Each structure stands twice: as structure tokens, then as C-alpha cells.
Amino acid sequence: MAQDSGEGGLDPENWEDFRAAAHALLDRCIDRLAAGRAKPWQPVPEKVVRRYALDPDGPGRGETAAAVRLADEILPHGNGNTHPRFFGWVHGTGLATGILSEMVAATMNANCGGRDHGAIHVERAVIDWTRRVMGFPDGASGVLVTGTSQATVIALAAARVAALGPESRAAGTRGAPLVAYAGAGVHNAAVKAMELLGLGHDALRRIPEDARGLSAGALATAVTRDRAAGLHPFAVIATAGSVDLGRFDDLAALADLATDLGLWLHVDGAFGAWTRLADPPWRALSDGIGRADSLACDFHKWMYVPYDCGIVLIRDAERHRAAFAARPAYLAAQQAGLGGGEPWFCDYGIDLSRGNRALKVWTAIEAYGPDRLGAAITRNCALAARMGAAVAARPGMRLAAPVVSCLCVFTADAGRDPAAQSALNARIATELQLSGEAVFSTTVIDGVTCLRAAITNHRTTAEDVDAAIAAVARARDRS
């Protein structure tokens, strides 16, 4: 039924025209996703970028005109991570269900800071599902966030209040010499979190790694030394899936040690936490993850959910609230009505106003279930292993490190000196990105810039992996 938009309002003047434009746009979105294999990343033409500029004095042209521009000028110029040969960085690749859930989320326009409404119950269901997948206890709490970077800040803020007491929220740290520990390959998100929390990144000690990741012996030694020096060790940050090489710390051993040393155990499981859904042998990589005091991970990477969405889980909900709960009078909860519905998510994180991030996760789980999502993760690990074998089988190519999960890092020609290898690998990455044959990123391992494939892509097939390695060999042999 057409409905009057009301004087001065911003609803469509004619709902039937809007419906037609929206249906046409939906078709274009579905066409784009269905034809993904034919559409690798390409640079955005400059004339298109220029047309994106918005005129401060210009008139609005209406919803139909906007919808046409979305389809023609915006939609084609993505990140390329919907393409089956996108292996650059640890990027999620999106799901068709995202089209459905984002449409509904925008229509509902729920503010998930709190109150009593459907989107809140959906978020609670997503948190509870994740809690059980990760093996966290019943009393654990969680909140959906932008991603692991924000989740890390929230987790370490809770650890800081646990270490210094709730009065530190008023008094600040008063120069308390808090120190945290992590393996040498820890992600920059932990560094940033230490800075943002006012602890400084010098207070994040890098512990050497051995074959099983962060060395437990070296950790114990460092903590003893720091305590003797009058410092206040408070947290250890374990990594489940390192960003460079996909390695996992021994989470069960670190959980034992953190208990002995009286440290908060935080796990950065940005992508690797989801090996909980994989088949053996990959599932075992994250054994012990449920013993952490806090866990940060992403739905937008290895759960393939559209950007952005991550989660922080905290083992003890009271400690979580102790760091964040605070509601002024105008937000006080009611017993019943829209203002009811305890707990409110604004008491568990940074944001007061919050979008409905949970719906895209809920829809993915509803559509695919842990079995199909887990099978995709298992297949990604198997494809990374296949790529590793393909590299090992090609004369000249060499792996920089064994493939453990979904990352394969290698040099295209181990016969050249390190500087020449670095130049070659960087050139190959650029050439293949520009040609649309495959997207690799690069990283530096032992002083050599290597090609890096992160296979967190449910669209990738064995043929894609083989074709990508063949393309690397061709690009190498052109020089």
C-alpha cells in the first residue's frame, strides 16, 4: 500500500517507484555475486572516483537515481575478495545471505545498545552459540563489535580492571606498571590496544617462540624477572592463528601457566578460533581455547560473514561488567516495556548506539549451520596444504614455513639472493593482482619478501589453487 511520506519527511514520495528501483537493484546485486568468478579486482578508473565526489551545493536526485548509481558506479568496484582466486591478506569473502540480512537490518534500523526488542534477542542467541562453539562456560558474556581490534581493547580493558580493581575506573592506572606478554608474531591489534589503554606498547613483552608457539618456559622466566623488578604482570596474549603464518600457540599449556602465574589469558583468535568447526587434524589447533579468560575473534574473516563483525567473549560476566557498566539516569532500565530487557549491551563495551551486526551472523548460521561452515573451513585448510605441496613440487619455489592452517607463504625462486627474491615476489604479487589472475599479498619472513596466500575463501577450488601457482611460475619465468 502506498503511504503518504508526510510533509517534509524523507520517505519516498512514491513507494511503488521505490519498490521498482529497489527490486532492480537487488537483481543487480545478485547478478554481481553470481558472476563473481568473472570479476576479479581491478583498479577503480579515475573518472569513476571523480564522480563519487559529493557537491555541497547540489540537489538530491531522488531514490531511483541513487539506486541506479549504486548499481552502475559503486557495486562493480569492490575489494575483489568475492573472487575465488582472492588470497590476499586474511579477508572474508562474503555470503549471499548477507544480502538478505543487511536488507532486513537496515529496514529494522534497531539500536542494539540495549532495551527490549528482537535484535537484542538475536544478538544474545549469536553470543550464546559462539560461547558454546568455543567451549566457554555458561556464565560467560560477550558483545559483538567491529572486529578483533576493538574486541582486543575491550578484553584488555577488562583484564586491566581485574588487575587493578574497579576503583581504577575512577582513579586511572596511577602509573601502575602493568605488563603483558605475547609471542613474537602477535598481531598489531594487541600493540594498538596497549597504546589505547594508556599502558604503552613497551609494556607488551615479546616472548620468543618455539615449535609450539609462545615459549612457556620463556614466559615464566620473563614474568618472574618482571615481578622481581617491581612490575605488575597482568595478562598473556596467546595467538590462535598468527596473521603471517597461521600458527597456533599451545593454548592448553598457556592456560595452565596463566593459572599458575595468576595472569589473565587473552586469546587472539581472529580467524583461527573457527578451527573449532573444522575436521581433524585442524580442529585440534585450537584445543584449549575455551579455557581463556577472554577471546577476540571475527565473523567477517573465516565465518565469511560480510564486513564488519567480530566478537569478544569474557569468561566471567561480572568482570566484563565491572569494566564497562555505567548507565546515567536517562538510560536506567525499567522492569517492563521497551526500556527493560536486561542486560544491555552498552554495559559490555565501548558503544552506546550499536547496529544490528548479529543478524548477518544469525542468518549465516541459520542457512548453513556449523556443518557447512565447518566444511568450508576444513576445505580451506586442505587447499592451503595443496598449495604448499604444489609449491614444494615446483623447481625453484620454496615454502617459507610449513603450512599449518590456511596460510601458505613461499618464495617463487629460492635460487636467487634474498634481495632479488624480494623484488621478484613483490613484482609477481603486483602483476597477478593487476592481471586479475590471482591476488596474493606479501610478507617478510627471515628478511625475504615472500608471496602469501591466506585461503579464507569458500569459493576457492583445487583448480583455482593450481592455476594460481601456475600463474606465479609463468610470471617468474618472464624475467
Ligand X SMILES: *Cc1c(COP(=O)(O)O)cnc(C)c1O
Q: Which three cell numbers, joined as nine digits, stand for 81? A: 575478495
139 φ, ψ to 5°?
-80, 10
Q: Which long-range contacts (CB under 8 A, 24 or more apart) does 59-65 make?
A: 63/12, 63/17, 63/18, 63/21, 64/17, 64/18, 64/20, 64/21
Which residue in the shown chain puts its C-beta closest to ligand X? 147
> Does 243 help bind ligand X (rule: CB under 6 A)?
yes
Among 120, 189, 235, 473, binds ligand X (CB under 6 A): 189
> Residue 207: how many CB atoms within 10 A of its CB?
24
> Does 380 help bind ligand X (rule: CB under 6 A)?
no
> Does 268 help bind ligand X (rule: CB under 6 A)?
yes
Residue 43 carries which DSSP code? P
Strands (E) located in 49-162: 141-145
Among 41, 234, 271, 344, binds ligand X (CB under 6 A): 271
Of the pair 25, 454, the CB lying nearest ligand X is at 454
Q: Which stretch binds ligand X (CB under 6 A): 54-62, 158-166, 207-215, 265-273?
A: 265-273
Minimal distance, residue 284 CB to ligand X, in Å:
19
Handedness of CA 321, 323, 329, 330 (dihedral sign): negative
Q: Which stretch binds ligand X (CB under 6 A): 80-88, 146-154, 172-180, 444-452?
A: 146-154
Of the pair 91, 315, the CB lying nearest ligand X is at 91
> Residue 360: how many CB atoms within 10 A of its CB?
28
> Residue 435: how many CB atoms within 10 A of its CB?
12
Taking CB under 6 A as the rule, which mask of x and - marks residues 66-105 in contact with ligand X?
Answer: ------------------------x---------------
**Maximum distance among all Cα pairs of the chain, rounded to whole angstroms:** 74
> Does 244 help bind ligand X (rule: CB under 6 A)?
no
> Residue 453: how many CB atoms within 10 A of its CB?
30
Q: Are 238 and 268 within 8 A, CB to CB?
A: yes
Minimal distance, residue 348 CB to ligand X, in Å:
18
Of the pair 199, 472, the CB lying nearest ligand X is at 199
Of the pair 188, 435, the CB lying nearest ligand X is at 188
Site for ligand X in 296-335 (CB under 6 A): 298, 310
Cα–Cα dist 464/461, whole Å: 5
Q: Is 76 helix (H, G, I), strand (E, B) or coil?
A: coil
Of the pair 18, 271, the CB lying nearest ligand X is at 271
> Residue 188: how many CB atoms within 10 A of its CB?
10
Q: Are 294 and 266 within 8 A, CB to CB?
A: yes
Among 155, 203, 270, 390, binds ligand X (CB under 6 A): 270
> Does 193 help bind ligand X (rule: CB under 6 A)?
no
Minimal distance, residue 297 CB to ligand X, in Å:
9
Minimal distance, residue 248 CB to ligand X, in Å:
11
Q: Which helix (H) or strand (E) holds 448?
A: strand 448-454
Of the pair 90, 428, the CB lying nearest ligand X is at 90
Q: Which three cell numbers, joined as nine digits, stand for 427? A: 613484482
Q: Which stretch binds ligand X (CB under 6 A): 28-36, 60-68, 141-149, 211-219?
A: 141-149
Among 93, 111, 149, 425, binds ligand X (CB under 6 A): 149
Of the pair 18, 307, the CB lying nearest ligand X is at 307
Size of site (CB under 6 A) for ligand X: 13
Minimal distance, residue 79 CB to ligand X, in Å:
13
Q: Are 139 and 160 within 8 A, CB to CB?
A: no
CA 468 from chain center: how many Å?
25
Q: Which stretch binds ligand X (CB under 6 A): 79-87, 142-150, 155-163, 404-412?
A: 142-150
Q: How many CA atoms lie within 13 A of 404 on its CB side?
A: 21
Residues of the shown chain interacting with ligand X in the complex, contacts defined by CB under 6 A: 90, 147-149, 187, 189, 241, 243, 268, 270-271, 298, 310
